[in-house]
Amino acid sequence: MLEITASMLIWGTLGMFVLWSKVSAIDLTFFRCLIGALSVGLYLLKSGRRISFNRSTLIISLAGIFAVANWLFLFKSFQLASITIGNMAYYLQPIILLLLGFMCKFERFSWRKVILILLACLGVALTIRLDSFAVPNILLGVSCALFAAILYSLVTLMMRNIHADIFVIIFIQLLIGVLMTAPLASFSVTALSGWWCLLIIGLVHTPLAYFLYYRGIKKASVTQIAVLSYLDPIVAIISDIVFFNQHLNGVQLFGISLTFLAGFMLIRLKLR
């Protein structure tokens, strides 16, 4: 469980490094992919692992396109809205995944699940605050986070039955990301602090966090993984309050609690 805990704590701090970097979302995505691909590529080379090209490789590559676009829109949501609002909107990803499951017949329909989904959506709306929707940047930021959540849900569905070396998967998807974002990147990182943030995102939040997570899930139960996944948004919200002076009122705190509770109840239903 220590590995999963560590990975969630790392991912929970992603938003603050995104904001500290003061780098555009497209440049952030490019350098995350480039630095991550170089580090994972060196590891694969050193360990003598080979990449085989087959039908799974095509699915991994297509999922990589969606995964990289997911990062791009998530980073943009942090910059337009806030870490808290972006994370809470993005936290609807399990809900979106469940809805896609209903549509694709992967999940059994139940009114209890529908009610919990509606409660989670209400919680996100309360966290964002209805009056915030009048602010164009916040509305656009929420839209980016929701689109990122849809993309990540598609990645999850596509990767459900893929059995391949996790580092090979990460390398292919990061390489796809480099090719996708290189033509659009402006390479406008000038401040030293920006480079430090990019290095941390590219090395710590990408290969290290994924390594810890995939190593940890082999030792933990589904319940433990589900519960520990709550650490990510909790750490993100705390970092927003501590480092960016984000002030949450009682309604927003209630909304966060409602979303977490509804999500947890959905997880319990899925485990029965």
Q: Which residue has the higher pLDDT, 251 or 227?
A: 251
39-62 b/e (C-beta count within 10 Å ≥ 16 → b): bbeeebeeeeeeeeeeebbeebee
Confirm if 266 and 98 have CB atoms less than 8 A apart. Answer: yes
Q: Categorize the per-residue pLDDT at 234 as very low, low, confident or very high, splitting at 50, 70 and 90.
A: confident
Instruction: State pLDDT tens for residues 192-226.
Output: 888 999 999 999 999 899 888 877 877 776 556 76
- Higher-confidence position of 103 and 29: 29
CA terminus-to-terminus distance, the chain: 22
Query: Does the pLDDT of residue 98 top 70, yes or no?
Result: yes
Cα separation, 143 vs 140, in Å, equals 5
Which pLDDT does position 74 carry in this prediction? Answer: 95
The residue among 171 and 50 whose pLDDT is bigger is 171
Q: pTM of the entire structure? A: 0.88
Rounded Cα distance between 214 and 216, Å, is: 5
pLDDT tens-digit readout, 182-192: 999 988 777 78
Residue 9 has a pLDDT of 93
- In angstroms, rounded to a whole number, what is the distance separating the alpha carbons of residues 146 and 92? 7
Amino acid identity, residue 6?
A
